[in-house]
């Protein structure tokens, strides 16, 4: 049997002919399903992105706020005092930490990490109840200047706010 | 009398008129068309809902970001009352009679009652917020603790100040429904607490009209 183009044109057995409509409907259905899948996927991706962007903006705003917070300010408004950070991070200073976090609404979970760029010093401020256990964390950092000790030795550092996502999101 | 024709298994197999085939394929075609039309219709319906939800979210985010930026403002320079106007000219929904915008101590909620269904957009607030006027805060504190919480009249409470914070949080869960054609005032305030030896400051943001 030779399968050249002529055999297709002159083939008059019409095996598929009676079910033409089913084949074309199946094609339309498949096309529509693919279209709907792409549409919903795009929407889900967009929604996720805008959600994370919004959360990031929130974290960035909190980070800026904390970087300029008077409660950890050093001898000048643009400096962060390492001594104050040490005092806030002491295990017994729960009241200081409470007052540090009181301004923020209780329905957002976050903790703050402040470190020097050279990595020699690192402080973590949390209320003891923030565990990420498997939840998504969104972090934002701002650069700050940290005043070490009383000799007014200043080193560059960063304030990082880690916002823990609610599980139901 | 006409003799009844016997129908055997042989006849069904060898019958080539294919009427069952035709009916089945046409039924399938009609069903498939109906399903596709329903799907297209519901997709376009979902799209108009999404557009409404987007607008509700824009309203909620606008108010939320203003409350948050009032919260992150440093005291001193920015210690004035902020005024926020809803942008009622940009969207289609802003003057809708079934649109409700409310603020409680934790959330900004924007709800549209649309044909017996509610579409809503909710945004959590970053800062401790109370939907009260400054006078109301002082009066409910005076009523409960016999002290207004001013710097001159701090509330007596010991760490962790649960009686004050929980009382205010409980009062603040009542939603304040906002009139979108009027301005919203956003103000930072402090409630001072003392445990006898030192005075501490609890910061709140007040949202009122």
Its ipTM equals 0.71
Q: Is-contact A122 A114, C-beta < 8 A?
A: yes
Total number of domains in chain A: 1
Task: Tell me the sheet residues that pair with A160.
Answer: A113, A141
CA nearest to B201, candidates B132, B145, B150? B150
Percentage helix, strand, coil for chain B under 3-state DSSP, each rounded to 5: 40, 25, 35
Residues in chain B, overall count: 209
Query: How far, in Å, CA of A21 to CA of A3, rounded?
Result: 26
Note whether residue B33 is domain-resident.
Answer: no
What average pLDDT score do residues A76-94 get? 83
Cross-chain CB nearest to B126 (options A28, A58, A94) = A58
Helix (H, G, I), strand (E, B) or coil at B140: helix
Two structure tokens written together for B154: 């701090």
Q: Do residues B130 and B190 lie in contact, with contact meaning Cβ atoms separated by under 8 Å? A: no
Question: Would you give the distance in Å from CA A45 to the centre of its chain?
Answer: 14
Whether B39 sits inside 8 A of A36 (CB atoms) is yes
Residue A63 domain boundaries? 53-164
Return the DSSP state at A70: G
Whose tokens are 């002082």? That residue is B138
* Residues forming beta bridges with residue B127, ordered by sequence position: A104
Q: Of A151, A148, A126, A147, nearest to A137 (Cα)? A: A126
Single out the residue of A68, A102, A62, A147 nearest to residue B76, CA to CA: A68
pLDDT digits (tens, 9 = 90+) for A135-150: 788 889 999 888 887 6
Question: What range does the domain containing B132 cover?
Answer: 42-208
Asked, for residue A100, whether it belongs to a domain, the answer is yes
Q: Choose the mutation target among B18, B125, B126, B172 for the interface with A, i.e. most A CBs under 10 Å.
A: B126
Is a pLDDT exceeding 60 seen at residue B94?
A: no
| pLDDT value of residue B88 | 73
With respect to residue B1, please indicate whether it lies within any of the assigned structural domains.
no
- Whether A45 has a pLDDT exceeding 90, the answer reads yes
CATH of residue A74's domain is 3.30.1140
Interchain CB contact of B25 with A (< 8 Å): yes
Structural domain includes residue B24: no
Total number of domains constituting chain B: 1
Residue A122 is encoded by which pair of tokens?
């690192």
pLDDT tens digits, A64-80: 888 888 888 878 878 88
**B155-156 and B184-194 beta bridge pairing:** parallel
- From B31, which residue of chain A is nearest by alpha-carbon distance? A25
- Asked whether residue A42 is domain-assigned, the answer is no
Give pLDDT, residue A18: 67
Query: Does B106 lie at the interface with A, CB-CB under 8 angstroms?
Result: yes
pLDDT at residue B201 is higher than 90 = no
């Amino acid at each position: 049997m030779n399968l050249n183009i002529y055999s297709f044109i002159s083939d008059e057995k019409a095996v598929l002919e009676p079910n033409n409509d089913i084949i074309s409907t199946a094609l339309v259905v498949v096309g529509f399903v693919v279209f709907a899948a792409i549409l919903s996927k795009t929407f889900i991706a967009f929604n996720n992105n805008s959600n994370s962007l919004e959360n990031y903006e929130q974290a960035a705003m909190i980070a800026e706020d904390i970087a300029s917070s008077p409660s950890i300010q050093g001898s000048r408004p643009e400096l962060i005092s390492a001594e104050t950070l040490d005092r806030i991070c002491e295990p017994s200073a729960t009241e200081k930490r409470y007052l540090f976090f009181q301004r923020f609404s209780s329905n957002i979970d976050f903790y703050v990490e402040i470190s020097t760029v050279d990595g020699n010093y690192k402080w973590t401020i949390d209320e003891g109840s923030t565990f990420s256990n498997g939840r998504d964390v969104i972090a934002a950092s701002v650069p700050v200047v940290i005043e070490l000790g009383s000799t007014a030795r200043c080193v560059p550092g960063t304030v990082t706010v880690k916002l823990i996502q609610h599980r139901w999101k | 009398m006409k003799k009844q024709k016997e129908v055997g298994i042989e006849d069904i197999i060898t019958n080539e008129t294919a009427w069952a085939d035709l009916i089945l394929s046409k039924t399938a075609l009609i069903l498939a068309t109906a399903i596709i039309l329903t799907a297209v219709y519901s997709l376009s319906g979902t799209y108009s809902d999404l557009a409404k939800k987007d607008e509700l979210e824009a309203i909620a985010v606008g108010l939320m970001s203003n409350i948050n930026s009032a919260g992150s403002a440093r005291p001193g320079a920015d210690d004035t009352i902020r005024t926020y106007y809803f942008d009622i000219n940009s969207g289609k929904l802003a003057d809708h009679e079934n649109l409700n915008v409310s603020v409680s101590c934790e959330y900004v909620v924007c709800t549209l009652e649309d044909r017996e269904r509610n579409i809503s957009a909710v945004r959590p607030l970053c800062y401790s917020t109370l939907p009260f006027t400054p006078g109301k805060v002082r009066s409910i504190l005076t009523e409960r603790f016999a002290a207004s919480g001013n710097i001159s009249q701090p509330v007596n409470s010991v760490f962790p100040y649960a009686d004050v914070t929980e009382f205010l949080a409980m009062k603040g869960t009542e939603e304040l429904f906002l009139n979108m054609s009027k301005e919203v005032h956003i103000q930072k305030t402090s409630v001072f607490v003392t445990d006898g030896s030192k005075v501490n400051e609890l910061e709140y943001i007040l949202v009122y009209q």
